Structure 1
Amino acid sequence: MRERHPAVYIMANKRNGTLYTGVTSQLVQRVWQHREGSGGFSERYDCKLLVWFEMHATMEAAIAREKQIKAGSRAKKLVLIEAENPLWQDLWSQIIDGSE
């Protein structure tokens, strides 16, 4: 069984484009699903770029953080992304290289 690492993440279709905020216990697998366009919001809006993520010790903490981010304004999400990733680079390589 794979070890689980709770995370909150934001996917985008382009810089300042459509954003999708999610929570998962398996970040690499979930982002891969978004990148492959496996249905739902991310496929409809082409959100395939991982632009921000945050790891948590527990799933409960990750869910609480996701709710906090989703309740915030779009402007707050943009500030969150740009504080860590000002060039809006796809962070996929960071999580598959073991940085997760």
Structure 2
Amino acid sequence: MAHFVYILASRPGGAIYIGRSHDLRARVEAHRAGLSVHTSKYNIRTLVWFEEHPDFESSLRRERSMKGWRRAWKIQLITQFNPNWMDMTHAIP
């Protein structure tokens, strides 16, 4: 089963949230519905980056690694993948 690591943002250069899920589409909808305190508080609703992993362990390692990154590195990753910080929900496989 595929697992995903993802980044949500409030706006370009704004607040960001890194997470992981095996059902990315449902998880993004849960964030948008306000079921996460952090994303609800800071209005973080736009899926701006994601990557697929073959298993739980690899997604967990990647998420933990990225959470330790400097903010500038996270912004650079998003900008390389999605220069306009557009919603990428339509691209979820």
Structure 2 distance, partners of 1:55, 1:93, is 15
Is 1:49 aligned with 2:82? no
For the aligned residue pairs, the C-alpha RMSD in angstroms reads 0.9
**Which whole-Å CA distance do the structure 1 matches of 2:71 and 2:79 have between them?**
12
Q: CA deviation at 1:39?
A: 3.2
Structure 2: 5+ residue runs without aligned partners?
A: none
Task: State percent identity of aligned pairs.
Answer: 37
User: How far off is 1:37 after superposition?
Assistant: 1.5
Query: CA–CA distance in 2 between the matches of 1:67 and 1:76?
Result: 14
Displacement after TM superposition at 1:92 (Å): 1.3
Q: Tell me the TM-score normalised to structure 2 length.
A: 0.95
**Gap runs ≥5 in structure 1:** none
The 3-state SS of whatever aligns with 2:79 is helix
Task: Name the residue aligned to 2:73.
Answer: 76
Paired residues, what number? 93
Which consecutive aligned stretches of 4+ in structure 1 deviate over 6 angstroms post-superposition?
none
